[in-house]
Structure 1
Amino acid sequence: MVKKVKEELEDVSLLKFALESQLKRMYQISDVDVVLFAGVDGKIYASYIPEDLGSRIFEFTNVINNNLRHISQQLEIGLLQSIVEYQFGTVIFSSVGRGALLISLFTQKVNLTENMEIIDTTREVMLHIFEQRPMTSDQLSQYSEDVANELRALSKRVFDEMYTQSSEYKKNMEILDDIKSKISSVMGRGEVDQVLTMAFNEIASSPKWMTENEWILLVEMVIEDQIRPLHGDYVADMCKNEWLPDIKRKLEAFVL
């Protein structure tokens, strides 16, 4: 399920996150002040609007909406982009497939040539994710290096966001807290992080990526490599007999 959503962005909330994430990325690497992804009917699918704009955004969007029908008609007959000068600045309307627009608003005088390259790359990325195309190597090979790299980076951001909200992630965080509590009851809280860091390094993993088998292996390593040498066989055997069945039970009982 995780892999499927990562590659195809089928979930609606995840799709919205992907669109907004790419708009934020465009804002960060360009001179654009406001960026919108909208339908030709004026419906805004996603946006990135800095908080410091305040009520001025309503002025901007009202002017844009008043001209949107005319711009859309131009784009429908084959015009890929339209640059319009307003009193408050410059707006670039870019066609994204049929029925959607990338709207880039600049309130300051800037070098549009440099920004156009970023806009063109973003437009291709937005079209890719809006049409929910797969993130396969064959698909990415059809794009320029800049577009392919942006799509790979976006895929990672979306996957990370999705994974940190997943049941698998929540399960792993609960198991981690439980293991920390168990270790601290024997070794003291000050040593827990150091012991776990060594164990995760040995397994070559991190908490959010752990599998059920790796959790069991980690607990066994802590008991054998840390607790037994320091606290003796009696304490180590007691931990092994109590902790491992309890961890296994919690892993099996967790509802995904």
Structure 2
Amino acid sequence: MTPAPDLTVRGSAAIGDALLFAPLTLTLAAGRWTCLLGGSGVGKTTILRLIAGLDTGAEFTGQITASDGQSVRERVAYMAQDDLLLSWATVAQNVLLGARLRGEKPDLRRCDQLIERMRLQDHMAKKSGELSGGQRQRVALARTLMEDRPIVLLDEPFSALDARTRADMQDLAAEALQGRTVLLVTHDPGEAARLGQSIVVMTQNGITPCQPPHAPAPRKVDELETLETQGALLRLLREEAA
């Protein structure tokens, strides 16, 4: 994997004559987690898709640049809210999907290592329908890591999980994605308070930073500073929605 760069999104987006989000500057620090919150429809997922080079349905006026001057989209891995597993494929086949679609020789050793890291070694031959929700998300995370990209985009990947499984996946993702430039879109102030090394709230008028806790992530849910940050984010979100 090449070193993770700083990433800057600068510009505005519109759908037809309707402004989606006003001119903004969002900077993602190299090798760190940035959590992006905001109400529905303010353009959070659009930001992710713009970075990934995917269609958004919006007209973007601006630039997306990396600090090392290299192309961004070729160095991005994307993990969506839905796990998007192939129902007919085994765990291992789903993890290896990217390489197979590109016609590349898959790295079977790395695949086995990631499956073990995700504690899925006893489920390698199972198809996605035989897995629990948490297991499916671990397969999706392993598939994301299999791409070995320095920039990782996460679009509410744990929101459909129960509270215990969600906390386990947050811990696992924080450990597995160390050293990468990560942008996590979330609606959950508690998740942002646990994981964010930089936290910003997005509205149609721009972005507002929020001071993250000083403790290393992932943080304990019941630590005072984590709870204070969660409360500050909830207040900010409610003010923006008012």
TM-score (norm 2): 0.27
TM-score (norm 1): 0.26
Normalized per residue, which structure has more helix? 1
Q: Which has the larger radius of gyration?
A: 1
- Tell me: higher relative CO, structure 1 or 2? Use CA pairs within 8 A at least 6 residues apart: 2
Normalized per residue, which structure has more strand? 2
